[in-house]
Amino acid sequence: MRKLALYTIGLLLFSVMSCTEEAEVWDSSTLDFAGEWWAEGSLDGNGYGMTEHQTFNTAADDGSEMWITDGGHFWDYKVKCPINKTDLTFGGTDLINAVEGYDIKISITDGKILKNAAHSTSGVVVDSIYYKIEFEDDLGTIYEVKGLRKTGFAEDNY
């Protein structure tokens, strides 16, 4: 009987202790922009294949800019890009590439996130991303990048 009482008291203490701490709710000022994407760069309609891209918040978390990178999967760029949270657009000129050893300026134009505008290969409705990008060391050549938000499901990977 004494063991039962000890187990009951232990369970009661564990229950009370686990319920007293409130969960921390974390939010980002660029939440609608942030994500992992499958995107394809193309030039004059000729695509270069789907690669992984990322968009994420800056340390300032002030809602005025985000990081955008292809993670070295194609062009090897990582820039802080101004955003407009109201209409889910982004872009800027003379953005500094933060990839070490590739110190050039990059321009991103016509950038936009389209909510629920794409379908993954398995049919899941996801957000779409689109932008044009130009590199200082290849002026006049403007690539189009378009893609869709990753679902996290293996069957949707490219």
DSSP string, 79-124: EEEEEETTTTEEEEEEEEP-STT---EEEEEEEEEEEEEEE-TT--
What is the number of domains present in the chain?
Answer: 1
CATH of the domain at 83: 2.40.128.220
Other C-beta atoms within 10 Å of 122: how many? 10
Looking at the domain assignment, is residue 1 inside a domain? no
Looking at the domain assignment, is residue 157 inside a domain? no
Please name which of 91, 85, 86, 75 lies closest in space to residue 41, comparing C-alpha atoms.
75
Looking at the domain assignment, is residue 110 inside a domain? yes
Note the pLDDT tens digit of each residue in 28-55: 899 999 999 999 999 999 999 999 999 9
pTM as predicted: 0.82
157, two tokens: 């990977």
Looking at the domain assignment, is residue 4 inside a domain? no
Looking at the domain assignment, is residue 12 inside a domain? no
Looking at the domain assignment, is residue 66 inside a domain? yes
User: For residue 79, what are the domain limits?
Assistant: 35-152
Burial degree of 116 (CB within 10 A; 0-12, 13-18, 19+): exposed
Note the pLDDT tens digit of each residue in 89-123: 999 999 999 999 999 999 999 999 999 999 999 99
Looking at the domain assignment, is residue 6 inside a domain? no
Strand partners, 27: none
Distance CA 71, CA 157 (A): 16
Looking at the domain assignment, is residue 10 inside a domain? no
